[in-house]
Amino acid sequence: MSAQRIIFACPFPRDQITGGIRTTYRHAEMLARRGVDCVVISPDGHPSWFQSEAQVHRGQGLTLRGDEVIVVNEIIDEVMQSFLRLPGTKQMFCQNHFYAFGPRLGMRDHAELGISSVYCSSVAIREFYQNVYGYPAPDIVPYAVDSALFAPAEKQLRIAFIPRKLPFEAGFIRSSFQKKYPAYRAVPWVAIEGRSERETADILSESAVFLALGHRESFGLPAIEAMAAGCAVVGFHGTGGLEFAAPENGVWFDGGRLLECVDALHGVARGIDRGDASVARMIAAGRATAADYNLDRTRTALFRHFGIPDEGRP
């Protein structure tokens, strides 16, 4: 058992669905399995939309030793600032640099709030802190895709998408596709909204195409999960997705190129219909890309960041 105690501050509603919340719980699980005393503080309790073995505490009555490592996220608001007032060492795990200038941080450096170090989840975030704040390169603990959960199943020619960040663009692309290409008007579109992790994985596993609606992304986890599930991915990389987006593994666009995205969706749908080998190669390349974002790689980086010996898979 490690003497270190790590507390993750995760004060979000239990029904709030973001990959960042789930990632925090996965990190807590990995650390606990290595014997680290690790707890997630969530006043609303365990999230309702995914399973986790992480120890969760609502915060009230939690006894602190005073030497804990307390990990906050990048949204430094009044609630998160209350965690910074606790005793112990403070670190920040940033999962989206577009939220970096919170109401309680402003133009201050993190050390002024008592945060001793910043680590992050992607290349784009690391470059942001180097270029804007002038910090030394933060550690990256990369995202991981559960390849057992996000895996191909029997496919249907349908287009899955997550409209949360770009709802107008999602509707415009869909309507334009159906108007311009009436032969494919009957292709179902499946909006992933308010779904559990398992339900999302099932939809992706059974969908032939995923429309990526990345916007102000630090990474873009849904696109990688869609790749792992064997979808042909078309859409917007959201900037942070440039870490993994390539012509070989998807059809990628900068934001705003809506009609080009419509045409690309049609080309991919038609290619799947006709058994086009180039689409099959793109899907295979996407799965290979997703395989790079695996649990072992995340675990190794996480343990290295916290100075915990990695003794292999738990």
Q: What is the pLDDT of residue 108?
A: 85
Domain interval for residue 66: 5-144+294-306
pLDDT in tens, the chain (314 residues): 567 899 999 999 999 999 999 999 999 999 999 999 999 999 999 999 999 999 999 988 889 999 999 999 999 888 999 999 999 999 999 999 999 987 777 788 899 999 999 999 999 999 999 999 999 999 999 999 999 999 999 999 999 999 999 999 999 999 999 999 999 999 999 999 999 999 999 999 999 999 999 999 999 999 999 999 999 999 999 999 999 999 999 999 999 999 999 999 999 999 999 999 999 999 999 999 999 999 999 999 999 999 998 775 54
Are 133 and 181 in the same domain?
Answer: no
Q: Which residue has the tokens 């102000």?
A: 216
What is the end-to-end Cα distance of the chain in Å, rounded? 13
Asked if the structure places residue 313 within a domain, the reply is no
Cα–Cα distance between 69 and 77 in angstroms, integer? Answer: 19
Are 279 and 172 in the same domain?
Answer: yes
Contact between 98 and 85 (Cβ < 8 Å): no
Are 175 and 93 in the same domain?
Answer: no
| DSSP alpha helix (H) spans, 67-219 | 78-84, 123-128, 167-180, 197-206
Q: Taking the model in full, what pTM does it have?
A: 0.95
CATH of the domain at 120: 3.40.50.2000
Are 173 and 133 in the same domain?
Answer: no
Cα–Cα distance between 158 and 126 in angstroms, integer? Answer: 36
What is the total count of domains within the chain?
Answer: 2
